[in-house]
Amino acid sequence: MDRLTKTAIMENFVDRLKELMYLIVAGIGSALLPVQDILILLSMGFVFNIFTGIVTDIHVNHARFDIKKAFSAITQLTFYATCVVFLNHGAKLLDEPQMGIVAVKWVTMIVIYFYLTNIFKNAKQVYPRNLAISFIYEILSTEIFTRLKETIGIKNNNDEKDK
């Protein structure tokens, strides 16, 4: 085989590999398209959660950026996004698209709730005197119920065990 033939074979192989990659990307894109808005919402919550975590670590905990924490957050987001795609696509395969939509909404709202709770926990540490942030965090984290019980004089079982 001469050099020209080897080059032509290699170019043909590269062209076929590109076509295969386009096909794979298109397949993944078609699976993600129905849940695109959900994935954008999850990503927004993720980014804001990471941002407030970094600000809290720097200003409150006086810690440096931790790549392990960032990688853990990215893997968690990937897990949530994969669950969303799996639920949506699986429900379509079972011919129950409405059930998939409901499941995706529930998973998304649960994840967003925990992102929001963590965002307000970090904001409460950055702004400890801000009553609105503290109040919203207490509502989201259900600490408000502990405060209400203390206000009306109900003691926790944990308080009695400590004495």
User: How many domains would you assign to the chain?
Assistant: 1
Mean pLDDT, residues 1-7: 71
Q: Is 3 among the domain residues?
A: no
163 within domain boundaries:
no
pTM for this entry: 0.66
- Give residue 84's pLDDT: 84
Q: Does the residue 74 lie in any domain?
A: yes
Flag whether 21 is in a domain: no
Residue 113 belongs to some domain of the structure: yes
Q: What percent of the chain has pLDDT over 90?
A: 12
Tokens for 82, please give them: 């994969």
Structural domain for 129, as ranges: 34-154
In a domain, 161, yes or no: no
Q: What is the 3-state secondary structure (H, E, C) of 28-96?
A: HHHHHHHHHHHHHHHHHHHHHHHHHHHHHHHHCCCCCCCHHHHHHHHHHHHHHHHHHHHHHHHHHHCCC
**pLDDT of 33:** 61
Give the per-residue pLDDT at 32.
58
